Each structure stands twice: as structure tokens, then as C-alpha cells.
Structure 1
Amino acid sequence: MVKKYILQTERLILKPADINDSEFFLKLYNEPLFIKFIGDRNLKTIADAENYITEKFLPQFEKLGFGNYVIIRKSDGEKIGAVGVFVRDGFEIPDIGFSFLEIYHNKGFGFEAANLLKNYVSEKFNLKKLSAITTTDNISSQKLIEKLGLKYLKMVEFPGDEVLLRYYEN
């Protein structure tokens, strides 16, 4: 079993996502902006969220030691978002992604969490090269990706998907 580390900043805790986060992911993945910019993951029940975590998040953690982290605000223990580094079919370079409950947008949490995780995987797993993908109309994510030091390279499609996405690398 791979050891999973909890990461921290002054304001945030990043803990590896697990089955106990099902209710949170059900809420997060059904936020209107999540569905608009990232897509509908078709999570309608706690059981759907549990299956998603079990099938999508946990295997990557077990195989590679990194994956999706729940972002928790230290001041009140509130789960506010998620950030992860993902290995995806059709892409050579792992990508960093993030999402937040809408009430926590534009508070600096995104950069704080994503930068911490980017630095962690770079040092711990020697992942010097990361990518990021986002929709053409998700300006906030584009700005955050660029602030993380990634540069826009080209438009890409996920295998089996017809939506063109902006592709970045550092």
C-alpha cells in the first residue's frame, strides 16, 4: 500500500480523497459551474459518489502515490474544493486540475492549493512536467493555470469527446 500524505499551507489542508468524502464530491460535482466547465459526472446519489471515488480516485493513489485531494479550510474544517494531479488516457503528461464550491471562488485558495500540490509532486515524485486543460470560456481557470507557470500550447480533445480544450504545459 502506498503511503498517502496530508499537505498543509497556512490556511489549507490537502488530504487524499477517500470514500468518506462522498457527500462532499456529490455536492461539488453538481455545482452549476463544475458541470459547465468540467462536465457532468452523473453523480446523483451518495452511492454514485462512492463508486466514482472507488473507481477513479483510489486506484491512481494506490498505483502512483498521488491523485485527487480534498481541500479543507483550517479555520473551520470546511471542505471547500478539490485539487489533483491526474494521469489520463490519451495524454502523456499528468495534468493538474482543481475545482471549488462556488462560494469559495476568487479567494486565493486555488493558487494556494494547486501551487502546493504542484511543488509536492515535483519534489516527491520527480514530476517536473505537468499539463493542464480547460475550456475556452473558463477564464478564471486559465488565469490560475498561467499563474502556476504553465503556458498555453494548443487546442486538444479528450479521446471520445468532441469538445476542444485549451492545453497547457510548464
Structure 2
Amino acid sequence: MAETIETPAETPAATETPGVPAAPVAPVAPAISDAELSVLREAAAELKTLKDAQLSEHERASQAKADAEARAVQAEGRLAELQATADRSRIAAEHGLPAWLADRVKGGTAEEMAADAKALAESIKGTASATLHTKPTGAVVGAGAGEPENPGDIDPVKLAAKILARRNG
């Protein structure tokens, strides 16, 4: 009697249990030669280099974005500062303050600056009227041009003629 040995390939149904599906068979990886393995390793290294370069570009782009945002914030701050200075100058002029006092006008809004300029102008007018004269109150005696006949009717042409007549004399 000769026994026959059955191989699993010949009897796949022998290992299956009725009602239970068969387990999937894992595919067998083909054998890779050393040359093919070397090519795959080189390709993997090149891929890693490219990914690192992209990451570096991303980091550079992120840094450039952060720098641009910082410059924008700085420019906006400078713009606000210049606008506030222009507003102070304009409001100071509207209230009759000299330009050198415009920096003394304080406030966060135009209304606050206007109120401060008004108060500053009123305080200056109170002290300036006693000591500071912006317009002459009368003719200065001995000023060199003589006393005018009628102080309200000074003709510049006649005054210039008198001065030239005295010099050429």
C-alpha cells in the first residue's frame, strides 16, 4: 500500500471550516536584488532631501510672514503717531495757539484735544494780555520816522519817500 501525501495546494478545502470564511493569504514579496535595493535607497534619500528643503522653504516663508506682520504693526503705529501730531497741529491752529505749543495739546480723541487746546489758549490769553503785545498799541516816540500826522492814515509810499528824503538829504 502506498500512501499518498496530500499537499495543502491540492486540498485547500481540507483546512476550511464550514461557515467560516478562509483567511486571506498574504502576498509573497518578490525577491529584490542588491542593485534594485540600492536604487530604492537612493530614491528614498532624495525624497527625504526634497522634503527637508520644502520644510525649510516653509520655515523661511513663515519667518518672512512674521517679519512682514511686525513691519506692518510698526508702520501702523508710526502712521497713528503722525496722524495724532497732524491733528494736534491743526487743532492748535484752530484755537489760535502758536505752532510751538501744538505738542502741549493732549488727548486721545479730536474732542479731547480740542478741549485741551481751548483751555490752553484761554490760559495763555489770560497771562499774555498783561505782558505780551502782538500788536503795537500806539506810535513809538522816537522811532525814526517822526510822528505821523494822523496815526490811522499812514501811507507806506509817503513814509518811504520821507525816509529817502532824510537819507539823501
Report the TM-score when normalising by structure 2.
0.18
Structure number with the higher helix fraction is 2
The structure whose Rg is larger is 2
Structure number with the higher strand fraction is 1
Higher relative contact order, chain-length normalized (CA < 8 Å, sep 6+): 1
